[in-house]
Amino acid sequence: MLHQVRLALPILIPLFTAVFCLLGWRSLRLQRAAGVAGSFLLLAAGLELLRSVSQDGIQVLHIAGWPARYGIVLVADLFSAMMVVLAGVLGAAISVYSVGDLNARHEIFGYHPLSHVMLMGVCGAFLTGDIFNLYVWFEVTLIASFVLLALGGTRGQIEGALKYVTLNLAASSLFLTAAGLLYSAAGTLNLAALAEALRGPDTPAGLATVLSMLLLVAFGTKAALFPLFFWLPASYHTPPVPVSALFAGLLTKVGVYALIRVFTLLFVTETAFTHNLLLVLAGLTMVTGVLGAVTQNEIRRILAFHSVSQVGYMIMGLGLLTPLALAGSVFFMVHHSIVKSNLFLVGGIAQRLGGSFELKRLGGLYSAYPALAMLFLVPALSLAGLPPFGGFFAKLVLIKAGLEAENFWIVGVSLMVSIVTLLSMTKIWAEAFWKPRPEGRAPGRGGVSSRLWIPAALLAVMTVVMGGASQGFFDLSLRAAEQLTDPSSYVRAVQGSEP
Amino acid sequence: MILLLAIVVGSLYAGGLYMIMRRVLIKLIIGLALLAHASNLLIFTASGLIRGRAALVPAGGSLDFRQVADPLPQALALTAIVIGFGVLAFALALVQRTYQVVGSDDLDQIRSTDT
């Protein structure tokens, strides 16, 4: 029992960090130190969890010793553990960046405690093995993100927050509805027990499919899936850069994680309908997102639309539902979180040096700051899927899986979208970095603290490493995907460990 | 009884969705509140209604669980009510702030971040 406490650590560490930050409300220096220390502790806890899951298989913690059918369980399989590590990596990078970037007006109203409450909610959602508990973690994440988004209170932020809040609350009540109906249909909320009950003869297949569609709409809204993505481009470009980076890296991933979890564990009986629908939605998400990005002329808006487009790739692997395809999805999620946060951080530095996020007003950054240009180029090319970076290998795996499943149209769509992504990245490159600085535009504030450079540079290094050591990442993703495609291992782990 | 509650739940969903699609900010909040109530009531109804028999095990005795009301959906609804209350309080504050910043409660005026 005691050694299983490592499952609770990724939830407890952000909780205590947030409490510590609240206790040190009056001292920004204390809050910053606690915020950075807490994020690195979370990263360490995530790595330890990943090590133990990779060594000893799926880990389960029965909270308060209740049997799984009645109590709440925390379950960490490889996929969960990888996502927790990812939350730690982004939390650590962004907490350092935010110390250098945020002004006191944001920090004084609780940026540090809120960001850790959000990390707690995200890690809780990744680790829980109970569908109602998942709802609670979603709400924890949401309410922290609502406040983070509105922090600062400019008109754009308030308007973005209003749309974000409305759509996410509507999705939450759908999720709650689905959870209630699942309980009345199966008599349990535990994911492992639900997986068994939904496959059993007592549950009509039609009911399971209806419930899966309710959850698809609820999680699809949070994951920004077509046609439910409108809140994302309306809100992600409004808050301060660290908040945008945190949201782009983690928030939509929670929705994608929940989709992958329920559509590999619970609803795998009617795949001809559900997973083909997922594939179609994935294709539409890719295309609409990337077309939206092409029409934009502001760095953060372009990046926000690309977030939508890339969600399509993650769902593509889920729709194909082979181990290789899911490995591609997992690999792509890890890659995309790092790359997209990195691009937001680099965009923030570009805004400090060039004085704007608008491409029209930027220019000449390549000749003035070649290091920044390189820092942009690595994640941008990786996002478009060019070798030798991580994004190339993630897309390669997905496309190979698509060809093996003989789903040629989705492969064609994903390749086309990659080209348009490259076009859109080239646009930022040509406008912000290559063209001469527009007449009459004074350069920005000039000096940028190393607290901004170091996290951005480290994330770029990770992208390169993901390309160089892609075999290692792929093997890990494939093992995670094999656990996902074999739900019985999850069920056995939960039920076999009952106290 | 179940039929009556089912109609109530359905009307709450319909009313909530209708209010969300209106143009006035405060109606948006009312719509969200109605949706939350609809899901709470649905959780409560869907798991079966048994009146007047709480799941209390008498001292030294035993209990036939089919004869008593299931306490878990009640706990779920309570949790959801508390969460919904907190979220709604935030949403109200946000709406008030929106009205101050934008100077209008017409949702059609709130589109400066749209693309």
| Cα of A154 to nearest chain B Cα, Å | 8
Question: What 3-state class would DSSP assign to A190?
Answer: strand
Report residues of chain A scoring pLDDT below 50: none
Domain count, chain A: 2
- pLDDT at position B13 is 94
- Do residue A254 and residue A391 come from a single domain? no
Looking at residue A492, its amino acid is: R
The sign of the CA dihedral A181, A186, A189, A194 is negative
Residue A391 in any domain: the answer is yes
- Do residue A233 and residue A162 come from a single domain? yes
Contact of A133 with chain B, judged by CB distance below 8 Å, is answered with no
- Do residue A98 and residue A231 come from a single domain? yes
Q: How far is CA A115 from the centre of its chain?
A: 15
- Do residue A47 and residue A97 come from a single domain? yes
- Do residue A318 and residue A291 come from a single domain? yes
Residue B28 in any domain: the answer is yes
Considering CB atoms only, which of A147, A155, A296 is closest to B101?
A155
- pLDDT at position A1 is 53
| Cα of B32 to nearest chain A Cα, Å | 7
How many degrees, rounded to 5, is the angle at CA B41 between CA B39 and CA B45?
Answer: 115
Closest residue on chain B to A146 (Cα): B90
Contact of A207 with chain B, judged by CB distance below 8 Å, is answered with no
Residue B31 in any domain: the answer is yes
Residues B23, B45 contacting (CB under 8 angstroms): no
Contact of B72 with chain A, judged by CB distance below 8 Å, is answered with yes
Task: Report chain A residues whose CB lies below 8 A from the CB of B42.
Answer: 177, 180-181
Residue A493 in any domain: the answer is no
| Cα of B3 to nearest chain A Cα, Å | 16
- pLDDT at position B115 is 54
Residue B113 in any domain: the answer is no
Largest CA distance in chain B: 67
- Do residue A286 and residue A248 come from a single domain? no
Q: What is the pLDDT along chain B (115 residues), one digit of tens a residue?
A: 889 999 999 999 999 999 998 888 889 999 999 999 999 999 988 877 887 777 788 888 787 777 788 888 888 999 999 999 999 999 999 888 888 888 888 878 777 766 5
- Do residue A252 and residue A313 come from a single domain? no
Residue B61 in any domain: the answer is no
* Per-residue model confidence as pLDDT tens digits over B28-58: 999 999 999 999 999 988 877 887 777 788 8
Question: In whole angstroms, how far apart are CA A105 and each of A26, A33, A35, A158, B18?
Answer: 13, 18, 17, 16, 38
Which residue in B40, B82, B94 has the most chain A C-beta atoms within 10 A of its own C-beta, making it the best mutation to test that interface? Answer: B94
Which residue in A165, A182, A300 has the most chain B C-beta atoms within 10 A of its own C-beta, making it the best mutation to test that interface? Answer: A165
| Cα of B29 to nearest chain A Cα, Å | 8
Residue B60 in any domain: the answer is no
- pLDDT at position A58 is 87
Contact of A239 with chain B, judged by CB distance below 8 Å, is answered with no
CB contact under 8 A, B42 and A235: no
- pLDDT at position B59 is 83
Residue A366 in any domain: the answer is yes
Residues A223, A329 contacting (CB under 8 angstroms): no
The residue among B48, B65, B81, B80 whose CA lies nearest residue A184 is B48
Residue B77 in any domain: the answer is yes
* Per-residue model confidence as pLDDT tens digits over A271-285: 788 888 999 999 999
Contact of B40 with chain A, judged by CB distance below 8 Å, is answered with yes
- Do residue A337 and residue A474 come from a single domain? yes
- Do residue A326 and residue A376 come from a single domain? yes
CA distance A496 to A73: 13
Residue A497 in any domain: the answer is no
ipTM of the complex: 0.92
Closest residue on chain B to A177 (Cα): B39
Task: Report chain A residues whose CB lies below 8 A from the CB of B97.
Answer: 150, 153, 158
- Do residue A279 and residue A195 come from a single domain? no
Question: What 3-state class would DSSP assign to A192?
Answer: helix
Would you list the DSSP string of A1-29?
Answer: -GGGGGGTHHHHHHHHHHHHHHHTTT-HH
- pLDDT at position B39 is 93
- Do residue A34 and residue A68 come from a single domain? yes
Residue B114 in any domain: the answer is no
User: Of A268, A301, A336, which residue constitutes the final position of a domain?
Assistant: A268
CA distance A98 to A345: 10
Considering CB atoms only, which of A139, A160, A235 is closest to B83?
A139
Contact of A103 with chain B, judged by CB distance below 8 Å, is answered with no
Considering CB atoms only, which of A156, A177, A237 is closest to B42?
A177
In terms of residue numbers, what domain contains B78? 7-50+67-106
Considering CB atoms only, which of B35, B48, B111 is closest to A173?
B35
Residue B2 in any domain: the answer is no
User: Of A268, A294, A325, which residue constitutes the final position of a domain?
Assistant: A268
Specify the CATH number for the domain of residue B37. 1.10.287
Cβ atoms < 10 Å from Cβ of A436:
9
- Do residue A223 and residue A332 come from a single domain? no
CB contact under 8 A, B90 and A170: no
Residue A312 in any domain: the answer is yes
Contact of B28 with chain A, judged by CB distance below 8 Å, is answered with yes
In terms of residue numbers, what domain contains A91? 1-268
Contact of A143 with chain B, judged by CB distance below 8 Å, is answered with yes
Residue A38 in any domain: the answer is yes
Domain count, chain B: 1
Contact of A299 with chain B, judged by CB distance below 8 Å, is answered with no
Task: Residue count of chain A, please give it.
Answer: 499
Contact of A176 with chain B, judged by CB distance below 8 Å, is answered with yes
Residue with tokens 């110390």: A99
CB contact under 8 A, A176 and B80: yes
The residue among A340, A339, A318, A475 whose CA lies nearest residue A398 is A318
Residue with tokens 């006191």: A104
Q: What is the mean pLDDT of chain B?
A: 86
User: Of A224, A252, A268, which residue constitutes the final position of a domain?
Assistant: A268
* Per-residue model confidence as pLDDT tens digits over A215-252: 999 999 999 888 888 888 888 888 888 999 999 889 98
Q: Alpha helix (H) ranges present in A67-190?
A: 78-101, 104-107, 111-127, 131-150, 155-186
